Amino acid sequence: MDKTLVIGSTGNLGREVVDGLVAAGAAPRALSRRQGVPDEGAERVPGGVEGVVGDLRDPAMLEAALTGVRSVFLVWPFLTTEHAPAVLDAIGRHARRVVYVSSSGVDRTAGRQTDPIRQLHADMEELIEKSEVEWTVLRADTFASNARGWAAQIRAGDVVRGPDSAATAVIDERDIAAVAVRALTEDGHGGATYVLTGPHVLSRTEQVRAIGDAVGRPLRFEAVPPDVARERMLADGRPPALVDALLAGAEARQASELITTTVEDITGAPARTFARWAADRVDVFR
């Protein structure tokens, strides 16, 4: 059977894509930099799924991972496009289709994007469109799973402190994955750029409150100034360039009322609410 290579298969989104492909009867191959991917247990990659070791920064390593692959699910977990042309060349030598996860904040009509993360995605979209493979771009809104970053504070107390950002239509990563599975396995999505959002525009205050409802105690969000947020994020071990990019992205994010019906249009099921995401992930916060 033709394989589907899932890059980022151990991540918040990628593991949902692996699950979705298994459920759809497709044959995923899960890429990770770590040895023994399928042996890391059900929490990361479902048992029985073929795992393969590879690093996007070493495109030559991807040749074996791509053998027999027809479709590729691609995330780009970096701040620059270094290695991307070589990775896309390797994909083009083996696969016919690539599905790339971009950001709903990208505006390709603008000369430059407003922050480094959007710029990265705009640059990646451009490279992918020039490549030989049939492509589909999924421009996703803020992932609900970003709220996992609040878990330690919620387990320890009732206040979540962090940098504020404009409200957006936060999306459940299972809904992005469901669209990705369709685009990877069905015809008719080539050349499409899908903007994917959740069903409600939510501030961080409202997200934290929804997690409180799920765990059964009142929680509140307290915005901290960017310099305080920066120090905390660095103390958590995040690389300085990533911290700066995340803070720039949070600051540049404009309030957006954008809600699309694309998840439902493509999958037939409405996008899940953040309240549902929190209820299904309650163990993360207890």
Ligand X SMILES: NC(=O)c1ccc[n+]([C@@H]2O[C@H](COP(=O)([O-])OP(=O)(O)OC[C@H]3O[C@@H](n4cnc5c(N)ncnc54)[C@H](OP(=O)(O)O)[C@@H]3O)[C@@H](O)[C@H]2O)c1
Closer of 75 and 278 to ligand X (Cβ): 75
Residue 12 or 131: the one with the smaller Cβ distance to ligand X is 12
Residue 77 lies near ligand X (rule: CB under 6 A): yes
Q: Is 119 in the site for ligand X (CB under 6 A)?
A: no
Stretch that binds ligand X, among 138-146, 152-160, 229-237, 252-260 (CB under 6 A): 138-146
Choosing from 2, 23, 34, 186, the residue that interacts with ligand X (CB under 6 A) is 34
CA–CA separation, 201 and 203 (whole Å): 7
Taking CB under 6 A as the criterion, the residue among 69, 88, 91, 101 binding ligand X is 101
Contacting residue, 23, 36, 50, 57, with ligand X by CB under 6 A: 57
168 binds ligand X (CB under 6 A): no
* Number of alpha helices (DSSP H) and beta strands (DSSP E) in the chain: 11, 9
Of residues 55 and 123, the one with the C-beta less far from ligand X: 55
73 binds ligand X (CB under 6 A): no
Interaction between residue 75 and ligand X (CB under 6 A):
yes
**Which amino acid is it at 74?**
L
Residue placing its CB nearer to ligand X in the complex, 101 or 263:
101
Size of residue set near ligand X by CB under 6 A? 24
**Nearer to ligand X among residue 5 and residue 56 (C-beta):** 56
The two structure tokens encoding residue 12 = 């918040």
CB atoms within 10 A of CB 50: 13
Question: Is position 103 an interface residue for ligand X (rule: CB under 6 A)?
Answer: yes
Q: Please, are residues 153 and 222 in contact by the beta-carbon 8 Å criterion? A: no
Residue 256 sits in the site that holds ligand X (CB under 6 A): no
Q: Decide whether 118 or 187 has the Cβ nearer to ligand X.
A: 118
Stretch touching ligand X by CB under 6 A, among 90-98, 141-149, 150-158, 199-207:
141-149
Own/partner pairs for 36-39, CB < 8 Å, 24+ apart? 37/9, 37/10
Residues 208, 260: Cα–Cα separation, whole Å:
23
Tracing tokens 């994917």 back to the chain, one arrives at 196
Choosing from 73, 76, 100, 274, the residue that interacts with ligand X (CB under 6 A) is 76
Q: How far is the CB of 121 from ligand X (least distance, A)?
A: 7
The token duo for 196 is 């994917």
What is d(CA 13, CA 79) in angstroms, rounded to the nearest whole number? 18
Question: Which residue's CB comes closest to ligand X?
Answer: 11
Backbone φ and ψ for 29, nearest 5 degrees, come out as -120, 120
Verify binding: residue 147, ligand X, rule CB under 6 A.
no
Tell me the Ramachandran region of residue 102: left when phi exceeds 0, alpha when psi lies from -120 to 50, beta otherwise. beta
Rounded to an integer, what distance in angstroms lies between the CA atom of residue 33 and that of residue 109?
Answer: 35
Taking residue 131's Cβ as centre, other Cβ atoms within 10 Å add up to 16
SS3 content of the chain, % helix, strand, coil (to 5): 45, 20, 40
Question: Which residues contribute to the site for ligand X (CB under 6 A)?
Answer: 7-14, 32-34, 55-57, 75-77, 101, 103, 140, 142-143, 145-146
